[in-house]
Amino acid sequence: MGLFNAMMSLSGAIDTDAIENERLARHTSYRIGGQADLFLTCHSYHALRRAVEILSREQVPWVIVGKGSNLLVADTGYRGAVITLGREFQRTVLAEDGVTLTVGAGVILARLVNDAFTKGLSGLEFAVGIPGTVGGAVSMNAGTRQEWIGSLIEDVVTYKPGAGLRHYAHDDVYWAYRENGIPRDEIILEVTLKLHLGDKPEIRAEMERSLLRRRRTQPIGTASCGSVFRNPPGRSVGAMVEECGLKGFSVGGAEVSPVHANFIVNNGNATANDVVSVIQHVYDKVKEAYGVELKPEVKFLGF
């Protein structure tokens, strides 16, 4: 593959920051992951388009990443380019109706939640405390079991490599728990969300309740990717794993959190292989006990 050619074309390119051999542990909430051959931050649509075209021409694999809060990256890293969205994708615009927000995919979700609260807009309270970017949240349809970001979406703009911009209205794609129908080969650039005017003290109270629930039930402050498995319909993975007696089960530095059994935490020195071993063990034990084949929510990169 023409990695060298790609690097030569991209280093110094307008609106693109290119770093060679970047450790991905620096870019994941797990603080795990070897090097990516190339780490690109594209600050404009044109820069992104150019980067993708060069990578495709040079046959360098690439992947789009947000803040890496739902990613497990292999210890051997990723042979290819990791792309993140920079400045032009970090804007938020409030429409004249006062309730419709158009948000760049690079905006940090926590900032959006806070912005909405400041403007007295309700609807995003459930998302308080979810790390990552808006692009990552839309791609994952992030939220709780009952509420997710897709329900608020009016419109999504994506870049389809080789084709250009695509628009999807809410009903053009399906939205379900941690799932949506946005084609996987497209890069989410911007979304328009419909919120509603709310009472600020009530919004604040709801956000505080959500945060408190998180602090009570999740290992906040320990490196993780959040929930590792998706909850099967009508069941809680946390409860199943706990009933299997797996809380505290560990391999190397990776451990089933004693606080929340669907979190596998990095106690400081875990490798990706440690985490995978714990995931495999939990999967096997739950299958043995319940006949249920758990589906990972975490995304794997470089395996």
Ligand X SMILES: Cc1cc2nc3c(=O)[nH]c(=O)nc-3n(C[C@H](O)[C@H](O)[C@H](O)COP(=O)(O)OP(=O)(O)OC[C@H]3O[C@@H](n4cnc5c(N)ncnc54)[C@H](O)[C@@H]3O)c2cc1C
CA distance 165 to 300: 27
HSE-CB for 191 with a 13 A CA cutoff = 26
Q: CB under 8 Å to 269, separation ≥6 — which residues?
A: 252, 253
* Residue 163 CB coordination number (10 Å): 10
Q: What is the dihedral of CA 192, 197, 201, 207, to 10 degrees?
A: -30
Instruction: Spot the catalytic one: 178, 206, 230, 250.
Output: 178
71 burial level (CB within 10 Å; 0-12, 13-18, 19+):
buried
Q: Which of 81, 99, 187, 195 binds ligand X (CB under 6 A)?
A: 187
227 labelled catalytic: yes
Q: Is 297 considered catalytic here?
A: yes
Name the minimum Å distance from CB 80 to ligand X: 12
Q: Is 228 in the site for ligand X (CB under 6 A)?
A: no
Binding mask 114-153 for ligand X (x = CB under 6 A): ----------------xxxx-xxx-xx-xx----------
What's the token pair of residue 102?
């158009």
Question: Minimum Å distance from CB 103 to ligand X?
Answer: 11
The token duo for 172 is 């053009």
Contact status, residue 62 vs residue 55, Cβ threshold 8 Å: yes
One residue of 18, 24, 40, 64 binding ligand X per CB under 6 A: 64
For ligand X, the nearest residue by Cβ is: 66
* 256 close to 279: Cβ distance less than 8 angstroms: no
Q: Is 299 in the site for ligand X (CB under 6 A)?
A: yes
* Nearer to ligand X among residue 75 and residue 200 (C-beta): 75
Options 43, 67, 119, 260; binder of ligand X; rule CB under 6 A: 67
- Contacts with ligand X by CB under 6 A: the residue count is 29
Active centre residues (catalytic): 178, 227, 297
Question: Which positions touch ligand X (CB under 6 A)?
Answer: 29, 63-71, 85, 105, 130-133, 135-137, 139-140, 142-143, 187-188, 224-226, 299
